[in-house]
């Protein structure tokens, strides 16, 4: 591997490329958001172009939609398509039960709606994202702008009442402005260190007025495709217990950053 390539980019690339093998002709697909998902969109577009694969896509963010349309993919709204066969998306962390933290790119709301509308969700990730317990990555929570300070205080009270150890909550900014999601909401990042009971935390957070959705994906993902910097890729499915390992060719040097958003 050339020394100037980022090993994480190689790992993301090979996971994304392997996951596209699961796409079949005629499928309705959910397209995730983030740098790993962007590699997947490019690999998918290559298969559509080279093999004449016909797929209908729903994007989980404006930037994924722009990338996919630019590559010639057929992108519709979820309201047009309603239900999907498969969603392929990245994650910020995943555990052994394939519970996830998502939303590092602020797309968690649309990602969760699209994944829930899908028969199957495949997560693509570099191996560094696997954790024994979720929570080192700050948990994103999407909140409506109206009264966000009050919502933040309620989130903090909830964390205290649940005896969560890390309790720092920050408003995500872009420059000196609060970030706006595609739905024009804000993101609170919960710095928790570790999450003892992700299912309970997810339910409790979503009961707070002003919270739109949180980045915990519980029992939504079935399969993970884990990429390694040397080109090794593992596929694990928690329903069937399937585990297989193979190798995917690394991207050409000149294309190494082409898939990132």
Ligand X SMILES: O=C[C@H](O)[C@H](O)[C@H](O)COP(=O)(O)O
Please count the CA atoms within 13 angstroms of the CA of 81 that sit on its side-chain side: 23
Binding-site member from 30, 103, 227, 259 for ligand X (CB under 6 A) = 103
* Choice between 15 and 250, CB closer to ligand X: 15
51 catalytic? Reply is: no
For Cα atoms 91, 225, 17, give the angle at the middle one, nearest 5 degrees: 100
State whether residue 167 is helix, strand or coil.
Answer: coil
How many Å apart are CA 45 and CA 68, to the nearest integer? Answer: 8
Cβ atoms of 91 and 102 closer than 8 Å: yes
Cβ proximity to ligand X: between 105 and 135 the closer is 105
Q: Least distance in Å: CB of 94 to ligand X?
A: 10
The torsion region of residue 193 among left (phi > 0), alpha (psi -120 to 50) and beta comes to: left
Q: Confirm whether residue 33 is marked as ligand binding.
A: yes
Interacting span for ligand X (CB under 6 A) from 70-78, 88-96, 191-199, 226-234: 88-96
Q: Which stretch binds ligand X (CB under 6 A): 68-76, 105-113, 236-244, 251-259?
A: 105-113
Q: Which stretch binds ligand X (CB under 6 A): 46-54, 101-109, 146-154, 201-209?
A: 101-109
Strand arrangement, sheet containing 56-59: 74-76, 56-59, 28-31, 84-89, 118-126, 223-227, 232-237, 243-247
DSSP 201-248: HHHHHTTSTTEEEESEE-S---EEEEE-TTSEEEEEETTT--EEEEE-
35 binds ligand X (CB under 6 A): yes
Q: Among 111, 168, 213, 245, which one carries the catalytic annotation? A: 111
- Among 32, 138, 227, 229, which residue sits at the site for ligand X (rule: CB under 6 A)? 32
Instruction: Establish whether 21 is an annotated binding residue.
Output: no
Nearer to ligand X, 33 or 158 (CB): 33
Binding-site residues: 33-36, 89-92, 102-105, 129
Residues that bind ligand X (CB under 6 A): 32-37, 89-92, 102-108, 111
Binding-site residues for substrate: 33-36, 89-92, 102-105, 129
């Amino acid at each position: 591997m050339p020394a100037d390539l980022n090993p994480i980019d190689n790992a993301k690339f090979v996971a994304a490329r392997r996951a596209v093998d699961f796409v079949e002709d005629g499928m309705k697909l959910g397209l995730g958001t983030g740098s790993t998902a962007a590699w997947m969109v490019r690999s998918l577009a290559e298969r559509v172009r080279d093999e004449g694969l016909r797929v209908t896509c729903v994007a989980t963010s404006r930037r994924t939609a722009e990338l996919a349309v630019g590559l010639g993919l057929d992108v519709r709204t979820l309201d047009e398509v309603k239900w999907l066969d498969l969603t392929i998306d990245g994650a910020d962390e995943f555990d052994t039960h394939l519970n996830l933290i998502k939303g590092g790119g602020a797309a968690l709301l649309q990602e969760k709606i699209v994944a829930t509308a899908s028969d199957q969700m495949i997560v693509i990730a570099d191996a560094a994202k696997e954790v024994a317990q979720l929570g080192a990555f700050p948990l994103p929570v999407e909140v409506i702008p109206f009264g966000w300070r009050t919502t933040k205080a309620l989130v903090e009270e909830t964390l205290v009442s649940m005896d969560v150890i890390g309790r720092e909550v920050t408003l995500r900014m872009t420059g000196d402005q609060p970030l706006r999601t595609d739905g024009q909401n804000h993101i609170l990042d919960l710095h928790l260190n570790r999450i003892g009971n992700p299912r309970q935390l997810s339910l409790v957070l979503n009961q707070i007025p002003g919270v739109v959705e949180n980045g915990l994906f519980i029992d939504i993902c079935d399969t993970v495709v884990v990429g390694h910097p040397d080109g090794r890729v593992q596929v694990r499915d928690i329903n069937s217990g399937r585990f297989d390992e193979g190798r995917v060719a690394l991207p050409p040097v000149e294309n190494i950053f082409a898939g990132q958003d």
